[in-house]
Amino acid sequence: MDRRSNHFTGNGRNFNIPPPNVDSSLPVQQLRYMSREDAMLREDLRKTRKKLTEMEQRINDFEGQLRPGGKWPHGGRRPYEAPTNYRSHANADEVTKPDIPTWLAQQRRNCELWNQNFALKECLRNIMLENNILKEMCRQKELNISLLEKKTLELKADLKFHNDVKHDIKLVSNAFNIRPAKEVEMSSYKCTCGQC
C-alpha cells in the first residue's frame, strides 16, 4: 500500500480505501463502497476456487498417468520415443516432479486464509454499520436532551414570571387595602338561619 495515496493494489485490482476521517453522515456512500468491494471479493473468491478445482483436476489426471516411482507404463511418454531414451526421460521426470501433496496443502491453506480475511472484512463492515447506527442514535438522544432542557428553562421562566406577578398584586392589594373579590363576597353574605 502506498502511504501517499488511498489506493491498495493487489491481484491486478485497485481498491479504494476510504480516508480515516470519513463523514458519518454519509452512510449511503459507505454502503455503496462496501457493496462494490464485497462484489469484487466474491468474484475473486469464485475465480480462485474455480482455478484451484481445475488445477486439482489436472494434477489428478497427471497422477493417473504415472506409476509408483514416476515410471511410465510402456517405454517413453510419446509413442514415437525409442525405448533407449526411456531411462533418461524417467530420470528427468523424477528430478523435476513437483511435491504435489505439499503444493495442494499450501493452496488449501492459502484459500483458508483468504476466506478468513474475507470473513474479517465482512465482520469489520458490520461493525462499521453498527457503529454508524449507534452514532445516529446518540445524536438523536442528544438532540432530545437539548430540546427538553430548553423546554425546562422556558417553564422555569414562566413560573418565575407568574410568581413575580402574584407577589406584585399582593403588595398592591396590601398597600391600598384592597381585598380580593372572593373575600368581599364572603363578608357581604349574611346568614338567615336565625342561629348565628
* pLDDT the model gives residue 129: 92
Cell match 501433496: residue?
Answer: 101
CA dihedral sign of residues 101, 107, 110, 114: negative
* pTM: predicted TM-score of the whole model, two decimal places: 0.35
DSSP string, 105-136: HHHHHHHHHHHHHHHHHHHHHHHHHHHHHHHH
Mean pLDDT of each 10-residue bin along the chain, 196 residues long: 45 48 57 75 81 77 59 47 47 62 89 91 91 91 92 93 92 81 59 65
pLDDT recorded at residue 91: 53
